[in-house]
Structure 1
C-alpha cells in the first residue's frame, strides 16, 4: 500500500512539473506586465520629459503603420497560412533565467517600422511582416537586459524563417560625451548605440537618446563588448565610432562641421521622377552608405553629412540605374537624368474579340523560364479597360508574356526580343475558355471533401509528393463534401495533379489531356488514408532545438528535408501506412550533431509521435 501511495505521489509530481514548464507556473495567473525602463536620467529629450527619444524620428507612412498594427500584439505560435504577401519570422526569446515572456520584438525596413509583436509566456513569437522587403533589421529588448539586433538582409515574398533561440544578456551603463572639433560640448545631439555596423541613424537600429546641456549622455543598459556609437546634431556631420564597452568606460564622440547635398531627378524629357531611390557613399574609409527617396517634385536632401565629397547612385523601377562620382555637397541642387529601360506594348482580347474582363493581368517571363500551371506567378501588369498593356523594366533578352483573365484559360504571347533600341510590339494575345476536368474522389469507399489539387505541367517526381506545395494550399481548388473536384478553364495540353488533404496520403495523377470546350470526367479516384508524424527535437538539456534538419525514410514514402520550428516541433505531410525511421541532425554549441534515430509507426488513422533528444557527447 505504501509503495502504491509513493508511486501515485511521484506521478502527480511529474504532471505538476510538466505543467509548470509548459505554462510557466501551476494553474492560472495574471500575465506579467513589464514597464519600460528610462534610457536617460540626465538631460531632457526633445520628444518627452524623461530624456528619452525613440529612434528613429520618421515621416508618416500609412502602409508601415498598417503593417505594424496588423502584426502587433501577441500572435499565434504557429501560423501556416501564406498568401504570398506575408512572411513569418519565428523564434524563442531566452534570458539569463530561461525563456522570456513579453519581450518586445520590432522589425525595421529602410528606416521604417514594418511590424512588431511581443513574445508569449513561453518565450515564443511569430512575427508576420509584409513581403518582399528590401532590407530587414530585427530588434528584441526586455527591461533590465541589453537589447539584441539582427540584420536579416533582403527578404523574399511569402514563406517563413525560423531564427532559433534569441538570447538577451545582461548589460551595463554606457556613458559618454559629444563635442565638436574644438573640444566644446554639443547639447541636444542625437546619440545612438547599436551592435550593427554600417548603418546611419535613420535606419532605426539600436537605442537613441539626446545629450544634455553639457554634451553628456547615458544609456542605462547597453550590450557589453564592441558597439557602434553614432551621433548627429544640427550644423554638424553625423559620425560613427566603434567603442569597446565595459563597465565604467566612457565614450567620446567628435562631430565635424556638417554639409548638405540636394538632388533633383528627372527623365530624359525633364519631367520630375518621384520615388527614386538614391544612395550616397563617401570615399572616407568605413563610411556607411545613406539612402533617401525623391518626393513628388523629384527632390531629396541629405543633411548631417560629415564630408563634402560623395558618390551618388539613383535607382527606379523601369529606368536604368545612374551614377555620379565626387559630387560636392555645397547646398547647390544637382540634377540627375534617368533613361527608361526598353519595354513592350500589346493588347489582350477574348476569343469573342472583346476586351478582357476586369482583373486581367500580364506576366513577363524569360524564355528560359519554365511555365507553371500551378499559379506561382505574382504581381504582373494590370490590363487597361480596352485590353492594352505596357510592360516596363525589361532587360535585353528573349521573353514571352502570359495573360491571366478571370473566366478564361491562360493565354501566351509569341516569343519577343527586347533590345536597347526601344519598345517592342508584342501584338495581340487571345484568351480562350479552355477545358475543364471533373474528378470524383473517395476515401475508404466514401466521398471525401477538402482535398486540394496542385496543378503541374510535367510528371512529378516522388519527392514532390511529400515536399511543400508550390503555392499556398488554401489557394488551390478543393473537392466538395460529395467528393467532386472541379478544375475550370485549364489551358489546352497535358497536365498532372498532386492531390493533398487532411487524412489523405498525397497522390499524383496524370497526364490528363485538356481540350478547349471539353470536360474530362475520369472514373472515381480512390485515395489512401494517411497520417502525419509529429514530434519535438530537444538538446541534451531538454531545451527545444530550432532549425534541426530531419530526413524521414519509409518503404513507401520519404520526406527528404524537414526543419523544426522555433519551439523545436515538426510535422510531416500525411504518410501512408508503414514504419518510418527519423534521422535528425543539428548544429548545437557550434558542433554538428546527429541524434539517435527514431522509429515511428503510421496506422493511417492517427498521427505518429516521437520525441527526439540529442545526447551529451553525440557525434
Structure 2
C-alpha cells in the first residue's frame, strides 16, 4: 500500500498508564467536532461522548487466570538506585488481560534508540542510557497489531529522572484477527468484484507498518482480511448501494463478517475520482517531510458529509508533497500536523485542487505540572488533551499526549494563537480542565498547572436477564468522559470478573450514561445515572441474551437522532424512523437551542445529551430552529417549541 495513503491501516495498540486506557490505533476515528448519539447506539460515539474500553486491575486472589474487574493499579514513582532512572511495566492482551511474551518495545531519544523485550509474564524493564525525554516509538508482538507512528512523532513521552523508577506501566496490545468476509445482495446472492476497505481511522499511528486495507470479493463474494475489533468494513460496487459493518466482539469470535449491498436508488453513483494535493512547508517555505495530512468532510457542511465519514490521512514525502485520491466531489477541511509545530489548516476546500500549500509555524508552548490536590505531590502519569474552541458548544481536538514523569511535568509545543480548553485526567482522579488563551505572536511558554482530586467510585454487577446468571467479561463504559476521541483517549471503563462484578474509579460527580455489552448479548445504554461523592451504591445491570442466529443490538432510550455541536445549537444529523424526533417532525439540519426552556449553551454538549435522554415514554420540550426557516432580513430563524417523547430504540 502507498505509504502516503495510511487511513485504515490494520494496526491497533491499547496503552494503559496508571490504570488509564489509551487507544493508540485501531480505534474509530470520529469527526473532530463534538458529536454524539441521542437515542442511537453508543458503540460509535464521538469525541464529546467517546467509546470506551477496559480499565484492568488486580486479579482475584481465588483464580490467577480469572479476568479482573480492573487491570491496572496506579502508576508509581519510587526512589531507585538507577542513576538515570528506570521504567517498568507489563504488556498484556487487550481482550484477556494476560501477559504477552516476547513483545518488543522501542524507546527513542535524540541520542538514539534502545529496545526492551517482555518475559513470559509480559513484564518489561527499560533503563535509559541518557537523561531527558524519551518516546515510546514502536510496540510489536507476534499475533498482535503493531504500533509505529512516523519516527519521532509518538504521542507517548517518558521523562527519565535520575534516581526515580516509574512502575506499573501497562501496555495492552490488540490481537490480530483474520476474518472471512462475504458480500451479498439483498436477495442473498454473492457479489463478485466488490471493493472492500477496512477503516480504522488511525493510519497516522501506523506509518512504520503499512498493511493492505483494500480487498476485492471473488466469484463467491468472499474475501479474507485482517481487522481489529471496532474497525468498520465498507463494501462498494457500481451496481449497488454501499454497505458497512462493524467488527464486533461477536464477529471476532465467529471469524465471519457479512456485508449486504442495497439496491441503488439512482442510476449513477457519486463521483469518487477527485484528488486533493499540494505541499506542506514551514514558516520559511522549506518543505516538511513526514507531516501527517488529514482530509475530512468540511465541518461547515454538516450534516451533509462528503467522502468517507472517517476521513482520509496521508504522510508527506521528502519534498513535502501529498496527494489524496478517490474523493467525492464536495468541500473538505485539510489539516497538516507535525509534532512541535503549529498545524496548517485550510477549510472549505473544493475537491480537485492540486495546488494546496499548508504552512507549519512555530507557535507557543503550553506547559505546567499536574499534582495531587491534597498532598501537592506530582502525579507520575497522566493524559492531557487540548481542544480548540470553535464556538459556544463546539470543540475540535487539537492535540493529545500522555506523560510519564516523576515530577508531573508536561509540555505541548506548536500551539497557534486562539482559545483552547486543556483537559487532564489520571487514574483514580476526577478529570480537570482549564481555559487557555494564546495571544497572537506568543512563543511561550504559557504555564497552566493542575491539581487533581480523587474521583468517585461506582460498583455493580452485570447479569443475564431472566436467568440472573453473572456475565464475565462484560464491558461497562462511561460515555462522555475521557480526554477526547483521539489517539490517546483516557478511558473510564471496566471488565466484569467471574462473578459479574465491576468497579469504575476516578469518576466526577453528576449524571453519566453507561454503555454495557457482553458477548452473545444485546448491549444497553443506561442514562441518568447519578454519581455521588465517594462511592455510588451498587447497581445490577441486566443484558438480554441473543437468540440463535440473532445479531446483537444496542438498546437505549432517547429521541432517535445523531447530534453535532454547531455555534449555539445541537444540529441533527441522522434522524431514525420510529424515534421521538421523527414523530415530532424533526429533520436533518434542524438545530436544538433549548431543552425544557434552558439554553444548551448553558449546559454544554455532554450535559445537553444527558438531558435529552431519559425514561422511556417521558416527554421533553425542545426549542428548535428549523433548517428550512429563515428569519426576516436574513436573521436567524425563530425558535419553535416542540414536545418530543423519548422512545426505546434498538439498532
* Structure 2 length-normalised TM: 0.37
* Structure 1 length-normalised TM: 0.39
Q: Which has the larger radius of gyration?
A: 1
